[in-house]
């Protein structure tokens, strides 16, 4: 089979998602960038095309089940060649740059975070499995978080819950589809330099930096390199796994 496959990346307008899309584009895949930020995702795809890769940016609200279900028809023949799915999109609402105490999270906010961070990856996997199974080849990479591995004080309850659930989802699907030539793995990043993390107060960032043994924050390129490996041919014997990438903050 040709190395060129369709790779779908959610939350790809910026940050880790954009870096992953760029890396997969350089690897020769046709990358489909999905994000609710219409202008930004189109610009991100244009930047990747300017580097000589094949890319398209599409606006998609992962909270809209109708829009998600319509994605295969929207992509047409490109969807039939889907071989890689990276579930990267996530939200983590804060108040004045700080996490919301669990007892103060409103139900509407709780349900919104669960829909984007956990239900959307579940639905995207369901959608992408048929073409992967038909090709007898697929790579699914779920971008979780250190918060799902060591939740105490790391993030708000809804974010922690969804990222923990994503690890369980990874194992469940990984077990079910391994015989179909499809692998399902998770990445658990620590503090990475992204637009989402840069909104934290300076004193919070200082404290986080002091807790990282390697003495710095991670980069989106490092996340992209790991995602690209898990999405490649050489990772075919890895499935149901969670790979920590946190600078040594958590070692298990």
Question: What is the fold, at CATH topology level, of the domain defined by 6-245?
Answer: Rossmann fold (3.40.50)
Length in residues, the chain: 252
Q: CA–CA separation, 99 vs 159, rounded Å? A: 10
Helix axes 157-177, 107-114, angle to 10 degrees: 30
Is 1 exposed, middle or buried, given 0-12, 13-18 or 19+ CB atoms closer than 10 A? exposed
User: What does pTM read for this prediction?
Assistant: 0.94
- The stretch 70-90 carries a mean pLDDT of 98
More confident residue, 1 or 212: 212
User: Coil, strand, or helix at residue 59?
Assistant: strand
Residue 13 per-residue DSSP state: S
Distance from C-alpha of 36 to C-alpha of 38, rounded to nearest angstrom = 6
Q: If pLDDT is split at 50, 70 and 90, which confidence band does 100 have?
A: confident
pLDDT, one tens digit per residue, over 104-151 is 999 999 999 999 999 999 999 999 999 999 999 999 999 999 999 986
Residue with the bigger pLDDT between 66 and 98: it is 66
- Structure confidence at residue 198 (pLDDT): 65
Higher pLDDT pick, 204 / 76:
76
Top pLDDT among 235 and 252 is at: 235
- Give the model's pLDDT for residue 95: 78
Task: Render pLDDT for 202-250 as a digit per residue (tens, 0 to 9).
Answer: 787 888 899 899 999 999 999 999 999 999 999 999 999 999 999 999 8
Kindly indicate the confidence band of residue 2, based on its pLDDT and cuts at 50, 70 and 90: very low
DSSP class of residue 96 equals T
pLDDT of residue 3 exceeding 70, the answer is no
What's the Cα-to-Cα distance from 189 to each of 45, 133, 168, 250, rounded to whole Å? 24, 29, 16, 10
Active site positions, annotated: 159
pLDDT over 60 at 1, yes or no: no
- Domain limits, the chain: 6-245
User: What's the rounded mean pLDDT across residues 9-18?
Assistant: 98
Cβ(193)–Cβ(217) under 8 Å?
Answer: yes
Local structure of residue 101 (DSSP, 8 states): P
Range 3-18 average pLDDT: 94
């Amino acid at each position: 089979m040709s190395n060129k496959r369709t790779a779908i990346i959610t939350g790809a307008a910026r940050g880790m998602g954009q870096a992953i899309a760029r890396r997969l584009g350089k690897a020769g895949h046709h990358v489909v960038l999905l994000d609710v930020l219409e202008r930004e995702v189109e610009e991100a795809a244009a930047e990747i095309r300017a580097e000589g890769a094949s890319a398209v940016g599409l606006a998609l609200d992962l909270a809209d089940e109708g829009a998600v279900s319509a994605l295969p028809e929207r992509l047409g023949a490109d969807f039939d060649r889907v071989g890689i799915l990276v579930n990267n999109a996530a939200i983590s609402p804060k108040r004045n740059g700080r996490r919301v105490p669990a007892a103060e999270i409103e139900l509407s906010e709780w349900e919104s975070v669960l829909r984007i961070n956990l239900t959307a990856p579940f639905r995207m996997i369901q959608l992408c499995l048929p073409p992967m199974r038909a090709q007898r080849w697929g790579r699914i990479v779920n971008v979780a978080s250190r918060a799902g591995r060591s939740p105490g004080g790391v993030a708000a309850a809804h974010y922690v819950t969804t990222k923990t659930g994503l690890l369980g989802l990874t194992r469940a699907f990984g077990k079910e589809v391994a015989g179909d030539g499809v692998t399902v793995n998770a990445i658990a990043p620590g503090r990475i330099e992204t637009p989402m993390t840069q909104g934290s107060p300076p004193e919070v960032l200082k404290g986080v930096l002091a807790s990282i043994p390697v003495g710095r924050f991670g980069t989106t390129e490092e996340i992209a390199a790991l995602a690209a490996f898990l999405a490649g041919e050489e990772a075919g014997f890895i499935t149901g796994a969670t790979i920590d990438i946190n600078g040594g903050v958590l070692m298990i």
